[in-house]
Amino acid sequence: MRTDNGNKALEDSQERFRALHNASFGGICIHDKGLILDCNQGLSDMTGFTGEELIGMNGLELVAPEYRELVMQNILSRFGQPYDVEGLRKDGAKYHLRIQGKNIPYQGRSVRVTEFRDITDRKQAEEALRENEEKLSSLFGSMTEMVVLHEMVFNAQGKPVNYRIIDCNKAYTEIVGIAKEDAVGKTATEVYQTKDAPYLEEYNRVAITGEPCRFDTYFAPMDKHFTISVVSPNRNRFATISTDITANKKMQQLIDAKNKELEQMVYIASHDLRSPLVNIDGYGRELGYAVEDLNRALDAGHPSVDALKAAIQPPLQEMIAALGYIRNSTIQMDALLKGILKLSRSGRSILKIGPLNMNELISRTIAAIEFQVREAGVDLHVSDLPPCQADALQVTQVFSNLIGNALKFLDPKRPGVIRINGSEKEGRCLYCVEDNGIGIDPAHQQSIFEIFRRLDPAKSEGEGLGLTIVRQVLERLAGEIRVESIPGEGSRFYVALPAIPSHVQIK
């Protein structure tokens, strides 16, 4: 029968539709302005209602109440794009739901097919991703290293010519002094105002090969030293992580200078120690020769005691002289070693840094050497001196040494005048010990600070340590010493020391 056949065909078609319907992964329903006409197994699984319960139910009840108005609007406006709402299961549980509806003709009228998709997993993944990104971005932002993401810029021939900033962190914007909006999108030559993009070759290698590299460099446009780590997250892109190591470099330079100074000191000391050793060994051998001469003289068979005495006289004289040289050399070596020990001890003494009343300190220093001052008949003027921040004992040693030197190297041709004055400027105190003595030749004005250096040993006493210790003391006190001198006119020794920090009151 035709009708039967027609019914059969219709039933088959509905069967197929249902099979397809139930095979789909999400929930699907056909509804008329919310009233569910048909649905698949998926919707039942998702919502917890049975198929029987769902059919004839108001589909809006499958959505959390606060979203129902929105859903109704979208149904009425025949909105066709997917959108996210909160779903409501039979048991009252809420879940993330994405729905998308489409109007279709159905059994002679226009109804709507709506697909339900449970996106809880995706939402959670997105949430996790967002949290992760937040963590990374806060790390990125709070890093003290400058982190910049770049992409290479190529010319028409495919040759790398520049690179562009894609992203950068706060440290970068602060250190370079450029706002993020101004940096992102700019090329290196624009940002750094250089003719060529800095380190283009190195960066390009990393961007092409993906092999990370790391180097230390001095970046002239910023006058800073950096350690730069370069990595490539993907081809033609690279990230730089730069650490400002300028302070470390400065410290290293200071250490190098100190080491050089130390090396110089060891060199001078070992040279000076070697000098007496040459004598000790040399005259030791000479003693040996003299003993041989003496033996020969004794063996020669002299006719009289006087003749024997005369024969042994020359080798005996040699021996006496040799012993004298040996003895002097050991004394000299002992003095040198004591000097080195003294310097070492001074360098290790414990400092007590505090505010110093320099007027009191200098008058005490002068009182201690009053006898020499009076004996030398010098005119000693001390101006009002600013207080400084240092160690009293060490500073006393510095000035006692400088005043002592001024007294020692006075010019006998004119009455001695020594002036001590001081001033304070920008956190530093500068004191000056000035004399009208013999002065120092420009060629020797630096070497006077070297260990054991004495310009004219014959004319004055001393071990050649005074100014070496003065310089060492001042270095330990964050101070400095320098000299200005005109031979035949006099010398000025300038001592700089830290002033008292403004919040400290002098007692």
Q: Which residues contact 192 (CB under 8 A, 6 or more apart)?
A: 198, 221
Q: Among residues 457, 478, 486, 489, which is the contact residue for another protein, using CB under 8 A?
A: 457
Q: Is 388 helix (H, G, I), strand (E, B) or coil?
A: strand
Query: What's 176-233 look like in SS3?
Result: HCCCHHHHCCCEHHHHHCCCCCCCHHHHHHHHHHCCCEEEEEEEHHHCEEEEEEEECC
Nearest to another protein of 205, 444 (CB atom): 444
Number of residues that bind another protein (CB under 8 A): 24
Q: Does 328 bind another protein (CB under 8 A)?
A: yes
Query: Angle 245-250-256 (CA atoms, 0-180°, nearest 5)?
Result: 125
Position 109: which residue type?
A: R
**Contact with another protein (CB under 8 A): which of 163, 192, 238, 283?**
283
Q: Per CB under 8 A, which region of 36-44, 47-55, 236-244, 450-458 contacts another protein? A: 450-458
User: Which letter, b or e, does each residue of 192-217 get, where b requires 16 or more Cβ atoms within 10 Å of its Cβ?
Assistant: beeeebbbbebbbbbbeeeeebeeee
Distance CA 114, CA 95 (A): 17
The one segment of 76-84, 192-200, 284-292, 388-396 that binds another protein by CB under 8 A = 284-292
Mask for 262-281, x = binds another protein (CB under 8 A): -----x---x--xxxxxx-x
CB 382 within 8 A of CB 420: yes
- Binding another protein (rule: CB under 8 A), the pick from 282, 355, 487, 498 is 282
User: Judged by CB, which is closer to another protein: 282, or 355?
Assistant: 282
Kindly provide the residue ranges of all beta strands, DSSP E only, lying in 10-126, ordered along the sequence.
27-32, 35-39, 83-88, 94-106, 109-118
Stretch that binds another protein, among 81-89, 130-138, 182-190, 322-330 (CB under 8 A): 322-330
Q: How far is the CB of 438 from another protein (least distance, A)?
A: 12
296 is a contact residue toward another protein (CB under 8 A): no
The stretch among 64-72, 126-134, 196-204, 323-331 that binds another protein (CB under 8 A) is: 323-331
Q: Does 329 bind another protein (CB under 8 A)?
A: yes
Answer yes or no whether residue 337 interacts with another protein by CB under 8 A: no
Nearer to another protein, 138 or 270 (CB): 270
**Can residue 260 be called a binding residue for another protein (CB under 8 A)?**
no
Q: Tell me whether residue 53 or residue 441 sits nearer to another protein (CB atom).
A: 441
**Strands of the 480-486 sheet, one edge to the other:** 379-382, 417-425, 428-435, 490-498, 480-486
Distance CA 95, CA 88 (A): 7
Nearer of residues 123 and 408 to another protein, judged by Cβ: 408
Told to check if 435 binds another protein by CB under 8 A, we report no
Residue 443 is a binding residue for another protein (CB under 8 A): yes
To another protein, the closest distance from the beta carbon of 376 in angstroms equals: 23
Torsion region of 96: left, alpha or beta (phi above 0 gives left; psi -120 to 50 gives alpha):
beta
| Shortest Å, Cβ 293 to another protein | 13
- Residue type at position 278: V
Burial of 172 (0-12, 13-18, 19+ CB in 10 A): buried
The crossing angle, in degrees rounded to 10, of helices 358-368 and 392-408 is 50
Do the Cβ atoms of 49 and 27 come closer than 8 Å?
no
The answer to the question of residue 485 lying near another protein (CB under 8 A) is no
CB of residue 338 to another protein, shortest distance in Å: 19
Chain residues binding another protein by CB under 8 A are 267, 271, 274-279, 281-286, 321, 325, 328-329, 443, 454-458
